[in-house]
Amino acid sequence: MPLLYRRRFSRGAKHLMLIGFGLVMLYPLLWMVSAAFKPEELIFREPGLWPSEITLENFTEGWYSLKNSFGHYLWNSAVITALSVIANLVACSMAAYAFARLDFPFKKLWFALMLGSIMLPHHVTVVPQYIVFAKLEWINTIWPLILPKFLATDAFFIFLMVQFIRTLPRELDEAAAIDGAGYWRTYFRVIIPLCMPALATTGIFTFIWTWNDFFSQNLYLTKSDTLTASVALRQFLDGSGESSWGPMFAMSLISLAPIFGFFLAGQKYLIRGMATTGLK
């Protein structure tokens, strides 16, 4: 077999293998989409992906079966997620600019402590944080979920943007200083416009992680009116066996739509940010 045909065969085999693995990884999602359109009594009776009977009752029942309409919980998730994205973009970019460009006492020490916090499990700080927020009477409010974001507590995003800012030529800062720009003007006029890929990466990951967050939201939000979509989905399950599987799968499908939309809208910025971050 000529070398050209062997290379094509090898490339085709690799592509087929990747497609096969991709279908295996996508099977749970495809099964959920199929279950959302099946009558509830057929969800676990028919293992196939193509339903023998299609119904939209799961969507109408799931939308109105809880104390509030599911749109209310989607709105709660949207508010918390939007504020978290804004907070991370502002706070983490400011902290990253300080670490990457400014000189201040014990800069290397603070940077090392910031990196060390990445290795600190979130569950270690849950109890003291809960005690603090309980003392402030902020349980069942959005403040425990968004206030830490405004304080630049996500060290991963700070490090990501520090690495990106370090790739920018310092001559740009020097030129801005010659024109009379201070730190703030340089930050807003020079650094931020050039950091769009890193900011997009931070925004996309913050959106996905916050929208899908169950642990923190389930911990601080216990009243029905304050629940988010991820926590509200848990209300469809009942330990006594009266779980509403069809409506839960239907609402899960609706809950995934914003994530796919946001990811597709910022995909090119995400790839560019991940590809250039860390290169010097």
What's the pLDDT at 30?
A: 87
Among residues 142, 168, 146, which one has the least CA distance to residue 88? Answer: 146
- Report how far residue 106's alpha carbon sits from residue 83's, in angstroms, rounded to the nearest whole number: 31
Look at residue 204 and tell me whether its pLDDT is greater than 50.
Answer: yes
Indicate the angle between helix axes 245-265 and 267-276, nearest 10 degrees.
Answer: 60
Mean pLDDT of the chain: 86
pLDDT band for position 10 (cuts 50, 70, 90)? confident
- Report how far residue 62's alpha carbon sits from residue 4's, in angstroms, rounded to the nearest whole number: 56
CA angle 225/76/212 to nearest 5° reads 115
Token pair of 214, please? 């169950």
Residue type, 256: L
Q: Contact, 33 vs 51, CB < 8 A?
A: no
What's the pLDDT at 178?
A: 87
- Report how far residue 209's alpha carbon sits from residue 205's, in angstroms, rounded to the nearest whole number: 6
What's the pLDDT at 182?
A: 86
4-26 mean pLDDT: 80
Q: Could you tell me the CA-to-CA distances from 218 to 98, 151, 228, 231 in Å, in that order?
A: 34, 22, 9, 6
- Report how far residue 96's alpha carbon sits from residue 116's, in angstroms, rounded to the nearest whole number: 15
pLDDT band for position 278 (cuts 50, 70, 90)? very low
For residue 8, the SS3 value is: helix
- Report how far residue 224's alpha carbon sits from residue 221's, in angstroms, rounded to the nearest whole number: 8
- Report how far residue 161's alpha carbon sits from residue 99's, in angstroms, rounded to the nearest whole number: 10
Indicate the angle between helix axes 70-101 and 143-150, nearest 10 degrees.
Answer: 20
What's the pLDDT at 45?
A: 82
Structure confidence by residue, pLDDT tens digits, 83-142: 999 999 999 999 999 999 988 899 899 999 998 888 888 788 888 999 999 999 999 999
Structure confidence by residue, pLDDT tens digits, 150-162: 998 899 999 999 9
pLDDT band for position 279 (cuts 50, 70, 90)? very low
- Report how far residue 204's alpha carbon sits from residue 157's, in angstroms, rounded to the nearest whole number: 11
Q: Contact, 50 vs 235, CB < 8 A?
A: no
Indicate the angle between helix axes 70-101 and 245-265, nearest 10 degrees.
Answer: 30
Look at residue 56 and tell me whether its pLDDT is greater than 70.
Answer: yes
Q: Contact, 257 vs 68, CB < 8 A?
A: no
Element (H, E) at 196: helix 196-212
Q: Is 103 left (phi over 0), alpha (psi -120 to 50) or beta?
A: beta
Among residues 61, 44, 47, 39, which one has the least CA distance to residue 254? Answer: 61
10-18 mean pLDDT: 83
Among residues 204, 201, 174, 205, which one has the least CA distance to residue 190? Answer: 174
For residue 238, the SS3 value is: coil
Look at residue 32 and tell me whether its pLDDT is greater than 50.
Answer: yes
